Amino acid sequence: MKRIFIIVFIIVSAIFMPLAAFAEEEYDDPTESEDFKKIAESVNEGILSGTDDETNEILEENGISADNAGSVNGISVMSVLSGIFTAFTDALAQPVRMLGKIIAIAVLCAVTESLVADGSQTVRLLRTIGVLCSITVIYDSVYSGFEMVSRNLDGLTTFMMSYIPIFSSVTAAGGNLISGGSYYAIMLALCELIAIVSSKILMPFLSVVLAITVVSAINPELSFCGAADSIKKCVQWILGGLMTVFTGLLTVQSFTGAATDSLTSRTLKFAASSFIPIIGGAVSEAYSAVSDSIGVIRSGAGAVGILIVCIMALRPIVVILAIKLVVSVGRIINGMLGLNENAGFLDGVNAVLSIGLSVIIAFSMIFIIATAVLMITALRYGM
How far is residue 375's CA from residue 380's CA, in Å, rounded to a whole number? Answer: 9
| Residue 321 · residue 364 · CB < 8 Å | no
Spell out the residues 6+ positions from residue 252 whose beta carbon is closer than 8 angstroms to its own.
none
Q: Which of 46, 138, 142 is nearest to 98 (CA)?
A: 138
In a domain, 357, yes or no: yes
Q: What is the model's pLDDT at position 178? A: 74
Q: Are 174 and 258 in contact (CB under 8 A)?
A: no
Q: Is residue 56 part of a domain?
A: no
Within-domain flag for 28: no
Cα→Cα distances 233→9, 208, 238, 354, 366, Å:
95, 16, 9, 10, 19
Torsion of CA 188, 191, 196, 202, to 10 degrees: 150
Domain enclosing residue 219, as ranges:
77-381
Count of residues in the chain: 383
Give buried/exposed letters for 16-52 (b at 16+ CB in 10 A, else e). eeeeeeeeeeeeeeeeeeeebeebbeebbebbbebbb
Domain count, the chain: 1
Any residues with CB less than 8 A from the CB of 167 and at least 6 apart, and which? Answer: 183, 298, 301, 302, 305, 371, 374
Q: Residue 23's pLDDT is what?
A: 43
What pLDDT shows up at residue 2? 52
What pLDDT is attached to residue 272? 46
**214 located within any domain:** yes
pLDDT at 261: 57
pLDDT averaged over consecutive 10-residue blocks of the chain (383 residues)? 51 49 48 67 79 82 72 74 84 86 87 73 79 84 85 86 83 73 80 80 80 76 67 80 79 68 55 50 51 70 85 89 90 86 84 86 86 75 50
Q: Which contacts (CB < 8 Å, 24+ apart) does range 357-361 have?
A: 357/149, 357/317, 357/320, 357/321, 357/324, 358/232, 358/235, 358/236, 358/239, 359/149, 359/153, 359/197, 359/202, 359/235, 359/239, 360/149, 360/152, 360/153, 360/313, 360/316, 360/317, 360/320, 361/313, 361/317
Contacts of 160 (CB under 8 A, 6+ apart): 50, 187, 190, 191, 194, 367
Q: What is the pTM of this model?
A: 0.77
Q: Does residue 177 lie in a domain region? A: yes
Domain assignment present for residue 205? The answer is yes
Is residue 137 situated within a structural domain? Answer: yes
DSSP state, 65?
B
Residue 31 is assigned to a structural domain of this protein: no
In the prediction, which pLDDT does 298 show? Answer: 76
